[in-house]
Amino acid sequence: MATFRFLLRKLAADRTAALGALIVVLLVAVAIAAPVLSTHPEDVTEFHPPERLLGPSGDHYFGTDRMGSDVYSRILFGARITISIAVIAIGVSVLIGVPVGLVAGYYRNWASDALMRVSDIFLAVPQIVLAIAIAQTLGPSIENVILALSATYWPFWARLVYAETRSALNETYVEASIALGASPWRVMLLHVLPNISSSLIVRTTIGMGGTILTAAVLGFLGLGPPAPSPEWGRTIAESREFLPEAWWYATAPGLAIFLVVMGFNLLGDGLRDILDPRTRRSTDG
Amino acid sequence: MRALVLTVNRLAWFVPTLLGLLAITFTISHLIPADPIAFIAGDNATAEQIAALKAKFGVDKPIPVQLWNYVLGVAQGDFGVSLYTQRPIVDDLVGRLPATLELAFVSIVASAILGIPLGVLAAVRRNSWLDHALRVFTVSGLAIAAFWLAILFQLLFAMRLGWTPLQGRVDGWGPDVITGFFLIDSAVAGDWGVFRDVVAHMILPAVTLGFPAMATVMRFTRAGVLDAINSNYVDYQLAMGVPHRVVIWRYVLRNALIGTVTQLGLILGNLIANAVVVEAVFDWPGLGLYAVNSILQSDYNAIMGFTLVIGAVFIIANLLVDVTHGLIDPRESH
């Protein structure tokens, strides 16, 4: 608890990181309170064709879309989709990648080499390329987006934890606990894992931003949740045939993606400065 | 010597990595629930017609046999036939590679030419309003969705202002193909009207792709200069009366760029990932657009071919980055 309070105080002192944290907290709040905050909550599923493509006004803050639904309300509900995709996809890839990395890093045998070679193969192409192929194969749905993102993201965590575990094994405190007869699991879970947790926290935060961007690309290509889902990437794709007249239709969801990713990136940078002094971004020279 | 051993070691893993990638993409593409053969054959095809088509594309055999045949084909430079265009995939890919390479090359060079000096400037005047402004710029570059930026550019510069073409690579047929790089081909032919047209078409996609790349270049150049600027040799040279500007641009920058070069792999990965959607938005006839079209048509031979080619390009590029790193940083070889 004390460390948590220390973290909060440090974060509050770093203005840009605090801004990032604020954006992230706001995103979560908006996602939870979407039914209350939105002006037309029924528009997630309801259409009003006579009101289609109206410009921004007091009644429709960000105008209306091709079905006459309120863009502002749909973006708020879109936040729920974005958050659940990013949180679950990262959660699953961390849950697979971290144990794989720990075990492969601890034991030095052919099996750990094989595991790392498999993750190298995944890392040999940009994540989006394999994610697109998987999402396309499985068909457009929110579950399949999560599956595609997790299946292509776990090798990143395995690699990271593997490298950190290997270097931790050379540290005196780990050698000492092995010499004292600690079991492999005890060493991995009680000695190695706590010492790599801060770098895991930093990477998870920055990874949220990247995952949200990748998920938006899948949505944009039509591989995300199908219509009438208010997913942000899909909304941008839908808006294209109504440009340049309906500029609000394309602008609003993109701004939402931009703000959220920026929030996670700023927060991640700030956390890195606090938790991981080795890779300080050297803002102050 | 150590660098050589590392390079040879990496080269030795080139083929196994590609084989692994092939196995993964093959597995993914054969989970496909949609039946592309039925799609090509149409609704009125008889059972015999479908069987004939299956035999033509080799999908009537068991999966392991298909995989083996595919590997044999790839080894001989044969990626199979596109289910959709019905042309050899190698021809499709080779025909589209120059468009993507030209765009990627222009974006990377532009981002280096702009990003390196701006990064140095931000470091030299750290905590000035310029540094803060540039920082906002870099943070935005990494947070913006490339496809959205592409659409905004189209909306503003092509649709509203009419300064640039909306999409495509050139109006009409373009220059006679010599290298496939339109900038070079039109310059060689001396056709400056076409050259200007090619440049006009390239501006928006290149800026879209170059923006995040430039942000990364700037960020690491700035950090590298800040690290190097505090070292003893800088104090020494300044004390010896070497002008500040010379110290920064000749000595500090060389050290600072080592960090930037190691990030080239990351920059390239991002660029390739963005190229897929940015090409789709600008209707740029490169590999990215080809990939998106093959995906939408479940053309799995083409998807596998694309993934393999991108994997090969990516591995080779990372290898080149490592070699360059060794060349500009002599400490590496000790």
Per-domain residue ranges of chain B = 98-297
Pick the residue from chain A with its C-alpha nearest to B267: A126
How far is it, in rounded angstroms, from Cα B83 to Cα B80? 9
Which among A138, A216, A221 has CB closest to B292?
Answer: A221
A contact test, residue of B27, B149, B151, B231 with most A CBs within 10 A: B151
Which candidate, A218, A242, A247, A256, places its Cα nearest to that of A73? A256
pLDDT at B235 over 80: yes
Question: Taking the CA of residue B299 as centre, how many other CA atoms within 13 Å lie in the half-sphere pointing to its CB?
Answer: 26
B contact test, residue of A115, A137, A220, A281 with most B CBs within 10 A: A137
Q: Which residues of A touch B34 (CB under 8 A)?
A: 139
Pick the residue from chain A with its C-alpha nearest to B306: A129
What was the pLDDT predicted at A282? 44
Answer yes or no: do A243 and B160 touch at CB < 8 A: no
pLDDT at A233 over 50: yes
Q: Which of A61-70, A233-242, B122-131 has the lowest mean pLDDT?
A: A61-70
Q: Which of A45-59, A135-149, B194-208 has the lowest mean pLDDT?
A: A45-59
A120 touches chain B (CB under 8 A): yes
What was the pLDDT predicted at B85? 78
Give pLDDT tens digits for A3-50.
778 878 888 888 888 899 999 999 999 999 888 888 888 878 778 888
Task: For residue B238, count other CB atoms closer than 10 A to its CB.
Answer: 13
Q: What is the mean pLDDT of residues A260-264?
A: 94
- For residue A228, say if its preceding peptide bond is cis, omega within 30 degrees of 0: yes
At A180 the three-state DSSP class reads coil
A184-188, A260-264, B174-178: which is most confident: A260-264
pTM of the full predicted structure?
A: 0.87
Q: What is the mean pLDDT of residues A134-154?
A: 91
A192-196, A249-253, B69-73: which is most confident: A249-253
Residues of chain A numbered 169-188 and touching chain B (CB < 8 Å)? none
Which among B123, B145, B314 has CB closest to A125?
Answer: B314
> What average pLDDT does the structure give for chain A?
87
Q: How confident is the model at residue B2 (pLDDT cuts 50, 70, 90)?
A: low
Q: What is the mean pLDDT of residues A227-238?
A: 91
Q: How confident is the model at residue B204 (pLDDT cuts 50, 70, 90)?
A: very high
What was the pLDDT predicted at B58? 67
Q: How confident is the model at residue A197 (pLDDT cuts 50, 70, 90)?
A: confident
pLDDT at A284 over 60: no
Give pLDDT tens digits for B247-258.
888 888 888 888
Question: What architecture (CATH level 2) is domain B98-297?
Answer: Orthogonal Bundle (1.10)
How far is it, in rounded angstroms, from Cα B173 to Cα A44? 45
Which among A132, A253, A261 has CB closest to B295?
Answer: A132
pLDDT at A285 over 50: no
Give pLDDT tens digits for B274-283.
998 999 999 9
Q: Give how far A122 is from chain B: nearest CA, Å.
A: 7
Rounded (5°) CA angle A79-A215-B24: 155
Question: Taking the CA of residue B139 as centre, how many other CA atoms within 13 Å lie in the half-sphere pointing to its CB?
Answer: 24
Residue bearing the bigger pLDDT, B197 or A146: A146
Q: Which residues of A touch B311 (CB under 8 A)?
A: 124-125
Which among A124, A257, A283 has CB closest to B145?
Answer: A257
Q: What is the mean pLDDT of residues B80-87?
A: 82
H-helix or E-strand containing B286? none
Answer yes or no: do B295 and A133 touch at CB < 8 A: yes
Answer yes or no: do B16 and A122 touch at CB < 8 A: no
Q: Which of A18-32, B17-31, B145-159, B270-284 has the lowest mean pLDDT?
A: B17-31
> Which tokens belong to B77?
């430079």
Answer yes or no: do A265 and B277 touch at CB < 8 A: no
Give pLDDT tens digits for A41-89.
887 877 888 877 777 887 888 888 888 788 888 999 999 999 999 999 9
ipTM > 0.95 (yes/no): no
Structural domains of chain A, ranges and CATH numbers in brackets: 11-46+55-284 (1.10.3720.10)
Q: How far is CA B266 from CA A260, B220, B238, B307, in A?
A: 22, 12, 35, 18
